[in-house]
Chains A and B, each alone.
Chain A
Amino acid sequence: MANRARPLSPHLQVYKPQLTSILSIGHRITGVALSVGSVLLIAWLLAAAGTREQFEWVQGLLASIPGQLLLLGWTFALNYHLLNGIRHLAWDMGWGLDLKRTYQTGWAVVALSILSTAAVWAAAHYY
């Protein structure tokens, strides 16, 4: 193990935040958040397989104000991770890797995540 004081590359906080870097770390943050948030899905499905009282108890938790805020964040994280994930799959196929396209698709992901989250909530509440 080389523990000598070697020169290190500049760390993250040295760089100016850019759309590309923010979206990149955002993909990881939403990914981890969704993994933790999968507890909601487990609870919801297990309750649906259980009794009516158990299901209504979980639904009640989700309908409370903290529950609704959590679900709103969850919806946004899911939509963002889904849309940015499609962007990543396009990159994997070699499409959209130039600077111009990277920014275009990046802003498209930002706009569509907000719009789709709003659409999901509007549809769920007023449909």
Chain B
Amino acid sequence: MSLRTPLQRVRGLGSAKEGVGHWWLQRLTAIALVPLTIWFMVSVIALQPADYDAVRAWLAQPLASVAAIGLVIALFYHAQLGVQVVIEDYVHQRKAEVVLQILTKFFCFFGALACSLAIIRISLGS
């Protein structure tokens, strides 16, 4: 006989609205990326020829800084979720799979960190 409550037994076994977590975050970041990507492409086109001062002046604007940081966070989160599924589907050797998953997560985390820091530095004028 188990002394655990039914709630304790079922917790963490899924279906507590957590099963769709990956799917949902992939969509949420996709929805965010639609306007942000279009904004980024249009802005970079408008900047051409993009010289040092023009790029920095653009990214230093408060709204542009916020949008750009939002973009890189959503982008690397979305990339990480997508590449994770591709690795799960195609890499059948367990060790290689784990190594690739770890490298993907690290790359995306530090990518988001590096881009955000770069934008913040420009935004603060340093």
Footprint of B on A, CB under 8 Å? Answer: 28, 31-32, 34-35, 38-39, 41-42, 45-46, 48-49, 52, 55-56, 59, 78, 82, 85-86, 88-89, 92, 120, 123-125, 127
Minimum CB–CB distance for A39 against chain B, Å:
8
**B residues with CB within 8 A of A:** 27, 30-31, 33-34, 37-38, 41, 44-46, 48, 50-52, 55-56, 59, 72, 75-76, 79, 82-83, 86, 104, 108, 111, 114-115, 117-119, 121-122
A52 close to B114 (CB less than 8 A): no
**A34 lies within 8 A of B48 (CB):** no
Q: Which of B34, B51, B76, B114 contacts A85 (CB under 8 A)?
A: B34
Instruction: Give the docked Cα–Cα distance between A24 and B115 (Å).
Output: 30
Nearest-Cβ distance from residue A62 to partner chain B, whole angstroms: 9
Q: Give B125 Cβ to nearest chain A Cβ, in Å.
A: 11
Cα(A92)–Cα(B104), bound, Å: 26
A and B contact pairs by CB, cutoff 8 A, 8 listed: A35-B82, A41-B115, A48-B55, A48-B56, A55-B52, A85-B30, A86-B34, A124-B44
Contact B86 A89 (CB under 8 A): no
Contact status of A49 and B121, CB under 8 A, knowing A38-B76, A38-B79:
yes
Instruction: For residue A54, give the distance in angstroms from its CB to the closest CB of chain B.
Output: 9
A55 to B41, CA, bound (A): 19
Q: How far is the CB of B87 from chain A (nearest CB, A)?
A: 10
